[in-house]
């Protein structure tokens, strides 16, 4: 159901419409096994239909951030080899600009059209593709090792990398999440359904797999929220009385700091789960005080490359929900902590900090078109480097404390410093630049830039902010500040000494 419009589908309608779409994608558009479909959609009821239709047709789904610029969309369309795009009217001009820049014809299907609304030229209405009866000839048996999803995750090289997740990866992780010791929803039976607002973006692995696929499979009622606005949060709570909330740090901060949101507004909520960025101990303690410790607050940890979940807190096991922790390993998952100071792959002991390595059926196949990056992260015997620093205690509860990677996590999204650095250095007035993440009370982290100007060049920070904002999605903007400096500190190999900048 859509929070804004009230539009809804039953499970049977999603099933029938997605199967019909699967047939059409194979028959009308002549898409073959392994071809890629791009979804440039906000959280709307038609998202599950487009997503599941493509999957049932044996296609690969790549989800694109709707807040991307046309240039960013074009990069992902091109790298993923997208053969068709699903979007909405409001994003059509951006999508058309992106596809036109690639100089190849890519069909565009429009979702969420209102009754009687005309279809722009050269576009196709999703409803028309879902009206027919599914033809079994065009539905196929799928190899579990084939790629199902191709979400993009930012890397330290500055460009996003396509993460190849197989059917086996995703289904394994869904089973792992719903194991008896970790499942958070109640069984759907009789007239009972858990109610879950989906305000975390569906293009992100957390929203896509951790919430949508996970709880759709459990028969829960999903309330799609296309645009999360803090002022509407109370209305959502009162109107739909959710039983489970899935959040990231900025939403926890909103609940914590907004005096209009009272404990009574959350009375229907049984559990709140936070992910994407760890919650600090002080934030957890303040939050528990506001909810009078009557709502379970759990944290979990994962990555796009792990489909996404590897660690989760639980109230069903002793020591399963510790303040500041990320939880226990979920079933069929192995983990070890290795030293960050040498090349040894031997695991460290209790309360010894090091890099977190994980292994399990949810680990990605690799990075799309990027074997070098794949080999850097997936090691011998299928151990995968996370780039995160952590430790486990005497109860084998894991704590994620820092990041080896230099990615900046803004509202749970990954921002690559190298991408912003390259963009800044392309400016005619800039000689050199470096970007680091700095703490931010709402965003979690924010990019901060250090800039060396060319001789005799002058420019104001506001002008640089406008320049960057015109080129990237909103969460990548340099809201942490811009500092002009004479030199960017680097080591002998030319790598930026980011710690010096953070501490300056």
What residue segments make up the domains of the chain, in order of their start? 11-142, 168-360+379-403, 408-502
The predicted pLDDT at position 16 comes to 94
Determine the pLDDT at residue 139. 66
- Whose CA is closest to 414, among 390, 396, 437? 437
Sign of the torsion formed by the C-alpha atoms of 184, 274, 367 and 65? positive
What is the pLDDT at residue 497? 83
pLDDT band for position 371 (50/70/90)?
A: very high
Alpha-carbon distance of 154 to 139, in angstroms, equals 33
Six-digit token pair at 316? 């069903």
C-alpha of 222 from chain center:
18
Report the candidate in 41, 19, 142, 136 with the shortest Cα–Cα distance to residue 87: 41
Residue whose C-alpha is closest to residue 482's, from 429, 442, 441: 429
What pLDDT band is residue 377 in, cutting at 50, 70 and 90? very high
Q: What is the mean pLDDT of residues 257-261?
A: 86
Nearest residue to 467 (alpha-carbon basis) of 434, 426, 433: 426
CATH for the stretch 408-502: 3.30.300.30
Point out the least confidently predicted range of 22-36, 282-296, 370-384: 282-296
Dihedral angle sign, alpha carbons of residues 291, 297, 303, 306:
negative
Distance set, CA 21 to CA 98, 237, 394, 453 (Å): 24, 34, 51, 54
Cβ–Cβ < 8 Å for 357, 385: yes
Per-residue confidence (pLDDT) for residue 492, from 0 to 100: 47
Structure tokens at 443: 């965003």
State pLDDT tens for residues 144-185: 999 999 999 864 345 789 999 999 999 999 999 999 999 999
Q: Are 168-360+379-403 and 408-502 equal in CATH topology?
A: no
Comparing 115-124, 136-145, 307-316, 490-499, the range with the smallest average pLDDT is 490-499
Distance of CA 174 to the CA centre of its chain: 16
Q: Is the pLDDT of residue 262 over 80?
A: yes
pLDDT of 403 over the 80 cut: no
Res 138 pLDDT > 70 = no
In the CATH hierarchy, which top-level class contains the domain 11-142? alpha beta
Two structure tokens written together for 326? 């990320």
Nearest in space to 5 (alpha carbons), one of 93, 108, 111, 132: 111
For residue 24, give the DSSP letter.
H
Q: What is the pLDDT of residue 425?
A: 87
**For residue 418, what are the contacts with CB-CB under 8 A and spacing of at least 6?**
156, 157, 158
d(CA 267, CA 241): 8
pLDDT value of residue 25: 95
pLDDT reported for residue 187: 96
Using DSSP's 3-state secondary structure scheme, residue 377 falls into helix
pLDDT, residue 157, reads 41
The pLDDT of residue 196 is 98
- pLDDT of 332 reads 98
- In sequence order, which residues have a C-beta less than 8 Å from that of residue 398 and are 6 or more positions away? 301, 311, 325, 326, 327, 328, 329, 335, 356, 390, 391, 392
pLDDT for the residue 275 = 86
Question: The dihedral of CA 27, 33, 39, 45: what is its sign?
Answer: positive
Residue 495's pLDDT band, with cuts at 50, 70 and 90, is low
Whether residue 14 has pLDDT greater than 90: yes
pLDDT interval class at 448 (50, 70, 90) = very high
Q: How confident is the model at residue 329 (pLDDT cuts 50, 70, 90)?
A: very high
The reply to whether CATH 3.10.180.10 applies to domain 168-360+379-403 is no
Average pLDDT over residues 209-231: 94
Confidence at 140, pLDDT banded by 50, 70, 90: confident
Distances (CA, A) of 366 to 161, 172, 371, 378: 10, 16, 7, 8
| pLDDT digits 0-9 by tens, 68-93 | 999 999 999 999 999 999 999 999 99
Q: What is the pTM of this model?
A: 0.83
The answer to whether 44 touches 202, Cβ cutoff 8 Å, is: no
- How many Å apart are CA 307 and CA 206, to the nearest integer? 9
pLDDT at 441 over 80: yes
pLDDT at 216: 98
Count the Cβ atoms, other than its own, within 10 Å of residue 119. Answer: 15
Lowest-confidence region among 85-94, 134-143, 471-480, 484-493: 134-143
Q: List the structure tokens of 390.
A: 């952590």
Whether 102 and 78 have beta carbons less than 8 Å apart is answered as: yes
What CA–CA distances, in Å, run from 99 to 77, 78, 205?
A: 8, 9, 24
Distance separating alpha carbons of residues 34 and 40, to the nearest angstrom: 19
Sequential DSSP letters for 210-257? IIIIHHHHTT-EEEE-SS--HHHHHHHHHHH--SEEEE-HHHHHHHHH
Mean pLDDT of 194-209: 95
Does the CA dihedral 331-333-334-338 come out positive or negative?
A: negative
Does residue 231 carry a pLDDT above 50? yes
Mean pLDDT of the 231-260 span: 89
In this predicted structure, the answer to whether residue 493 has a pLDDT above a threshold of 60 is no
**Do 287 and 253 contact (CB within 8 A), yes or no?**
no
User: What pLDDT shows up at residue 164?
Assistant: 98
Q: How many CB atoms lie within 10 A of CB 197?
A: 24
Distance CA 81, CA 379 (A): 28
Instruction: Give the Cα separation of 69 and 472 in Å (integer).
Output: 6
At 155 the pLDDT is 46
State the average pLDDT over residues 446-473. Answer: 93
* Pair of tokens at residue 438: 């700095």
343: Cβ contacts below 8 Å, ≥ 6 apart = none
What is the chain's mean pLDDT, rounded? 91
| Residue 482 bridge partners (DSSP) | 449
Residues above pLDDT 70, as percent of the chain = 96
Decide if pLDDT at 494 tops 60: no
């Amino acid at each position: 159901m859509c929070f804004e419009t009230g539009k809804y589908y039953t499970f049977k309608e999603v099933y029938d419409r997605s199967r019909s779409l699967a047939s059409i994608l194979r028959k009308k558009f002549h898409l073959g096994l392994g071809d890629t479909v791009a979804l440039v959609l906000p959280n709307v009821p038609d998202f599950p239909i487009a997503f599941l239709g493509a999957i049932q047709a044996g296609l690969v789904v790549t989800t694109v951030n709707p807040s991307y610029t046309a240039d960013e969309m074009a990069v992902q369309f091109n790298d993923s080899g997208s053969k068709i795009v699903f979007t909405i009217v409001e994003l059509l001009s951006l999508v058309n600009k992106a596809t036109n820049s690639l100089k190849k014809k890519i069909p565009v299907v429009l979702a969420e059209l209102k009754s009687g609304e005309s279809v722009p030229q050269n576009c196709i209405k999703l409803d028309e593709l879902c009206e027919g009866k599914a033809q079994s000839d065009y539905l196929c048996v799928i190899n579990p090792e084939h790629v199902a999803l191709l979400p993009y995750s930012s890397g330290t090289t500055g460009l996003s990398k396509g993460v190849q997740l197989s059917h086996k990866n995703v289904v394994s992780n869904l089973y792992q999440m719903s194991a008896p010791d970790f499942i958070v929803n109640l069984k759907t039976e009789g007239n009972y359904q858990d109610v879950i607002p989906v305000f975390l973006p569906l293009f992100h692995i957390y929203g896509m797999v951790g919430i949508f696929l996970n709880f759709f499979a459990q028969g829960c009622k999903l309330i799609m929220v296309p645009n999360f606005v803090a002022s509407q949060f109370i209305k959502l709570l009162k109107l739909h009385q959710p039983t489970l909330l899935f959040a990231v740090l900025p939403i926890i901060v909103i609940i914590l700091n907004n005096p209009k949101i009272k404990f009574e507004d959350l009375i229907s909520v049984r559990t709140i789960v936070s992910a994407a960025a760890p919650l600090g101990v002080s934030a957890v303690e303040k939050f528990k005080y506001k909810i009078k410790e009557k709502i379970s607050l759990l944290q979990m940890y994962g990555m796009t490359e792990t489909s996404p979940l590897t660690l989760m807190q639980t109230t069903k096991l002793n020591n399963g929900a510790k303040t500041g922790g990320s939880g226990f390993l979920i079933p069929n998952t192995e983990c070890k902590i290795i030293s960050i100071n040498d090349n040894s792959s031997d695991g460290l002991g209790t309360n010894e900090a090091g890099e977190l390595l994980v292994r399990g059926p949810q680990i990605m196949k690799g990075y799309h078109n990027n074997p070098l990056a794949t080999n850097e992260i997936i090691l011998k015997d299928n151990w995968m480097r996370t780039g995160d620093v952590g430790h486990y205690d005497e109860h084998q509860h894991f704590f994620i404390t820092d990041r080896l990677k230099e990615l900046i996590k803004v509202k749970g999204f990954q921002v690559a410093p190298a991408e912003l650095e390259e963009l800044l250095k392309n400016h005619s007035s800039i000689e050199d630049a470096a970007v680091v993440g700095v703490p931010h009370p709402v965003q979690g982290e924010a990019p901060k830039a250090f800039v060396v100007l060319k001789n005799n060049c002058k420019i104001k920070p506001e002008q640089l902010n406008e320049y960057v904002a015109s080129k990237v999605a909103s969460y990548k903007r340099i809201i942490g500040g811009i500092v002009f400096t004479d030199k960017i500190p680097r080591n002998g190999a030319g790598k930026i000494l980011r710690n010096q900048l953070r501490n300056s």
